[in-house]
Structure 1
Amino acid sequence: MKFKFAHNNFNVLNLQKSLAFYRDALGLVETRRKEKPDFTLVFLGDGQTGHRLELTWLKDRTEPYNLGDNEFHLAFTVEDFDQAYELHKGMNCICYENKDMGIYFISDPDGYWLEIVPANR
C-alpha cells in the first residue's frame, strides 16, 4: 500500500482576499472549486507540481482562526530569491527573516506562515 500527498488545507476568513494574496504573492491559481451552501473549497496549484493548497471558507464564520503558536508552515522554493524578496517586501507580508539560513517567511491574510527558500539551496 502506498500513500501520496494530495493537498494541505488552510481555513480562511475572507476567500477573495486570500485568493488575491496567493495569486499575487506566490502565483498560485485555482484548479478546482466545490461550492456547498455552508462552505466553499478552492484548490490552488502552482502549475508545476501536483501539490494543492485547499482553502476552506466557512460562510458563516466571522471570527479569525486561532492558529495557536503557528508552529507549522508550507514552504515554497523560488529561482529568483532576491526578486521574490522584493515582491514580498513591497507587499508588506514578510513576517520573519533568517538571514543566516538564507530564508524568510511571509504571512497570509489569516496569519498562516509560508517559508520562501532559494531553489538552488
Structure 2
Amino acid sequence: MKFLFQHCNINVTDLDKSKAFYKEALGLHVVKEKQYDNFTLCYLSDEQNLFQLELTYLNDHPQHYDLGENESHLCFVCDDMEKAHAHHEKMGCICFENPAMGIYFIHDPDDYWIEIVPQK
C-alpha cells in the first residue's frame, strides 16, 4: 500500500486577499478553483505541483477563525533566505524569527503561520 501527500486545507475569510498573499509571499499560483452553492475551494501550488494548499471560503462565515494557540503551521523551503527575508520584511508579514535555528515565520491574512527554512 502506498500513500502520496496531496493537499492541506485551511479556511480563509477573504479568498481574493489570501490568493494575492500566497502569490506575492510564496509564489503559489491557482491550480483550480471550484465554486459551490455555499463555499468555494481554491487549490494553490508551486512550480512543481507536487503538493497543493486548499483554501476554503465559506460564504456564511465572515468572522475570523479561532486558530487556538496557533501551534500548527505550514512550512516552505527556500533557496535564498536573505532575499526571502527581505521580501517578507517589506511585506510586513514576519511574525517570529529564530536566528539560532536560521528560520523565521510569516503569517497570512487569517494569521496562519508559515515557517520558512533554508534549503539544505
TM-score by length of 2: 0.97
Partner of 1:40: 40
Which SS does the other structure have where 2:4 is aligned?
coil
Q: Alpha-carbon deviation of 1:49?
A: 4.2
Partner of 2:102: 102
Partner of 1:13: 13
Gaps of 5+ in 2: none
Deviation per residue, 1:50-105 (Å, 9 max, x gap) = 10000000011111000001111111011111000000000000000000000000
Which SS does the other structure have where 1:40 is aligned?
strand
* RMSD after superposition: 0.7
How far, CA to CA, are the matches of 1:86 and 1:49 in structure 2? 26
Q: What is the aligned residue count?
A: 120
Identity %: 52
- 2:75 alignment partner AA: A
The 4+ residue runs of structure 1 with deviation greater than 3 A are none
How far, CA to CA, are the matches of 1:49 and 1:62 in structure 2? 30
TM-score by length of 1: 0.97
Gaps of 5+ in 1: none
